[in-house]
Structure 1
Amino acid sequence: TEDEKSEVVKAVEDANKDENGKSTLPEGSKVTVGDNGDVTVTYPDGSKDTIPGDKVVKGKSDADKNE
């Protein structure tokens, strides 16, 4: 969902902060999450890094909703 994608973006951004809470990513970098969970960081120069979804998200199942 879009909410889950937003949570992943925030987690990636938070994971890339220094001890003072300042981003270690170059200014103007953009983090996006695909429907399959892949995370792409696009840098100001147009270069990109992609992290496979299975490395950043844990799948959920309906079993998690049952007691």
Structure 2
Amino acid sequence: VPGDKVKVDDPNKLTEDEKSEVVKAVEDANKDENGKSTLPEGNKVTVGDNGDVTVTYPDGSKDTIPGDKVVEGKSDADKNELKVP
């Protein structure tokens, strides 16, 4: 599970770009100190519309991470850029 949640516009309906960010965050969280993946080669990481992450291993077994562990809705401060006069 990534240390920081990915901020998304709507945690119940992720865009394709947001899903890509989640996949990257999960893959990055599963690397050793040398930057090498600790997941078995041939795994597949998929993200549902609600942010649920499914890792499918080469043998067909799966792990699922609930969306609320990896994504959170953007706050009003995240959505708006304050302009300095």
Of 16, 20, 24 in structure 2, the residue corresponding to residue 10 of structure 1 is: 24
Give the aligned CA root-mean-square deviation in angstroms: 1.4
Mean alpha-carbon deviation: is it higher for 18-27 or for 54-63? 54-63
What fraction of aligned residue pairs are identical, expressed as a percent? 97
Residues 18-63 of structure 1 show CA distances to partners (whole Å, capped at 9, x for unaligned) of 0110000000011110000000000000000000000111112566
Deviation at 1:65, TM superposition (A): 2.2
Aligned-partner Cα distance in 1 for 2:46–2:54: 5
Deviation at 1:14, TM superposition (A): 0.2
Deviating 4+ runs (over 4 angstroms) = none
- Structure number with greater CO (CA < 8 Å, separation at least 6) is 2
Give 1:52's aligned residue.
66
Deviation at 1:64, TM superposition (A): 3.6
The alignment's TM-score, normalised by the length of structure 2, stands at 0.72
Length, aligned pairs only: 67
